[in-house]
């Protein structure tokens, strides 16, 4: 399934875009030229269950419309970028490792019925790929892969300037390719998935494991002895200050990240791989070792052709991509 990007008409009404992730919900009103007119943030609190999260989406949309003093009839459409496997034809979130209990949830129809506006549903990483392709680091690049590295790992694939979504709309679940057949069990049920070895979750778990085994680190003082409170962000800060354990943890994670990138480079031969998500904020501390692995392990012709760069759109990538999807 391939989606072609089309020119949008300047007189079109704005899209209300929603980025539904395992940690936060971002709702924004987006003009057809990619301008964020207004935005709203809510914590997802996904462990509370499906309906409470849907209620938070309603609350975010209602507050955003009230803030701009507009009705849903003044929207072109509503477009949702959601974490997990998506059935585009049916408008279902079929499953989501980061949204517990979400199995075959007809979120598109629920939102459309609530607000009486044409509604679209797309995977969040696919949306971010579209966002970066239309408005960010990948503008003008015809063959690219977008990678979001945060709590988990997701991806989106642009081939010949078009979003590739597979036969059922679920292509791009690259975080769940197997990297280590003897690795840790993933939330998806598989063993040794890429996101279990190279995500922010993996960074935190590895640092906690090593400290609990008796290794010393400034992280212990940073979290006031509450080791379970260590996050990837804290590991990054400790590494910037020269903490040896934190630096080693990030290097290990970057190596696993590079191994996965080698697979993508060899399979797709992209012009560009864009790294987004919270882990991308580590910058060259994470990306340089990963780039080195690609240089050493990928086919030379493909390794020389690809640029591995950080995303430009930050937290707005998902909503901008969801809007681009609706504007097609």
pLDDT of residue 4: 52
Closest CA to 17 of 73, 74, 81: 81
**What average pLDDT does range 64-93 have in this prediction?**
92
Is residue 270 located within the same domain as residue 151? yes
Angle, vertex CA 273, rays to CA 268 and CA 275, nearest 5 = 140
- Under a CB-based contact definition with an 8 Å cutoff, are residues 16 and 37 in contact? no
Classify the phi-psi angles of 8: left when phi > 0, otherwise alpha if psi is within -120 to 50, otherwise beta.
beta
Residue 8 reports pLDDT greater than 80: no
Total tally of structural domains belonging to the chain: 2
**Does the reported pTM lie above 0.85?**
yes
- Under a CB-based contact definition with an 8 Å cutoff, are residues 122 and 131 in contact? no
- Under a CB-based contact definition with an 8 Å cutoff, are residues 216 and 275 in contact? no
Residue 7 reports pLDDT greater than 50: no
Query: Please, where are the H alpha helices in 102-147?
Result: 107-115, 124-135
CA distances from 72 to 6, 15, 112, 118, 303 (A): 24, 10, 10, 10, 47
Is residue 104 located within the same domain as residue 38? yes
pLDDT of residue 134: 93
Is residue 84 located within the same domain as residue 232? no
Binning pLDDT at 50, 70 and 90, where does residue 98 land?
confident
pLDDT of residue 1: 57
Q: Which position has the token pair 């995500």?
A: 199
**What average pLDDT does range 115-125 have in this prediction?**
95
Between CA 99 and CA 97 the distance in angstroms is: 6
Residue 113 reports pLDDT greater than 70: yes
Is residue 165 located within the same domain as residue 306? yes
Q: Which residues of 67-103 are buried (b: 16+ CB within 10 A; e: fewer)?
A: eeebeeeebbbbbbbbbbbbbbeebbbbbbbbbeebe
- Under a CB-based contact definition with an 8 Å cutoff, are residues 4 and 162 in contact? yes
Domain, as residue range, for 213: 137-312
Sheet with 144-149: strands ordered across: 2-4, 162-164, 153-159, 144-149, 272-276, 307-310
Closest CA to 193 of 115, 201, 159, 53: 201
Residue 229 reports pLDDT greater than 80: yes
Most confident range, picked from 24-33, 61-70, 258-267:
258-267
Per cent of the chain over pLDDT 70 is 97
Binning pLDDT at 50, 70 and 90, where does residue 84 land?
confident
CATH of the domain at 205: 3.30.420.40
Is residue 179 located within the same domain as residue 112? no
pLDDT of residue 187: 82
What tokens does 249 get?
A: 């943890």
Is residue 86 located within the same domain as residue 115? yes
Binning pLDDT at 50, 70 and 90, where does residue 203 land?
very high
Q: How many helices (H) and strands (E) does the chain have?
A: 11, 13
**What average pLDDT does range 287-300 have in this prediction?**
98
Residue 211 reports pLDDT greater than 50: yes
Which neighbouring-strand residues pair with 122?
81
Which neighbouring-strand residues pair with 24?
43
Between CA 215 and CA 213 the distance in angstroms is: 6
Between CA 167 and CA 119 the distance in angstroms is: 21
What is the average pLDDT value for the chain, to the nearest integer? 93
**What average pLDDT does range 320-325 have in this prediction?**
95
Is residue 307 located within the same domain as residue 226? yes
Between CA 326 and CA 322 the distance in angstroms is: 6
Is residue 292 located within the same domain as residue 154? yes
Look at 328 and 164; give whichever has higher pLDDT. 164
Is residue 116 located within the same domain as residue 240? no
Look at 1 and 284; give whichever has higher pLDDT. 284
What tokens does 133 get?
A: 């392709």
Is residue 181 located within the same domain as residue 295? yes
For residue 131, is it within any domain? no
């Amino acid at each position: 399934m391939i989606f072609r990007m089309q020119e949008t008409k300047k007189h079109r009404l704005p899209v209300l875009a929603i980025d539904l992730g395992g940690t936060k919900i971002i709702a924004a009103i987006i003009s057809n030229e990619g301008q964020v007119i207004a935005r709203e943030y809510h914590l997802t609190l996904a462990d509370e269950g499906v309906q409470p999260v849907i209620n938070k989406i309603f609350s975010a949309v209602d507050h955003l419309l009230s803030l701009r003093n507009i009705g849903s009839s003044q929207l072109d459409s509503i477009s949702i970028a959601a974490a997990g496997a998506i059935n585009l034809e049916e408008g279902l979130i079929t499953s989501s490792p980061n949204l517990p209990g979400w199995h075959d949830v007809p979120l598109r129809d629920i939102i459309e019925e609530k607000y009486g506006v044409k509604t679209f549903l797309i995977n969040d990483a696919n949306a971010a790929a579209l966002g970066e392709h239309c408005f960010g680091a990948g503008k003008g690049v015809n063959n690219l892969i977008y990678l979001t590295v945060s709590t988990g790992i997701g991806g989106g694939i642009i081939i010949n300037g078009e979003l590739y979504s597979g036969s059922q709309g679920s292509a791009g679940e690259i975080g769940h390719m197997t990297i280590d057949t003897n690795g840790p069990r993933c939330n998806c049920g598989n063993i040794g998935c890429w996101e279990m070895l190279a995500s922010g979750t993996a960074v935190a778990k590895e640092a906690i494991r090593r400290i609990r085994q008796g290794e010393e680190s400034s992280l212990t003082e940073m979290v006031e002895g509450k080791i379970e409170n260590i996050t990837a962000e804290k590991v990054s800060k400790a590494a910037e200050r020269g903490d040896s354990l934190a630096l080693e943890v990030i290097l290990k994670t970057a190596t696993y990240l590079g191994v996965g990138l080698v697979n993508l480079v060899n399979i797709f031969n992209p012009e560009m791989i864009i790294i987004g998500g919270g882990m991308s904020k580590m910058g060259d501390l994470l990306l340089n070792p990963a780039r080195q692995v690609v240089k050493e392990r990928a086919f030379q012709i493909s390794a020389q052709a690809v640029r591995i760069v950080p995303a430009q759109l930050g937290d707005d990538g998902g909503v901008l991509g969801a809007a681009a999807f609706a504007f097609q």
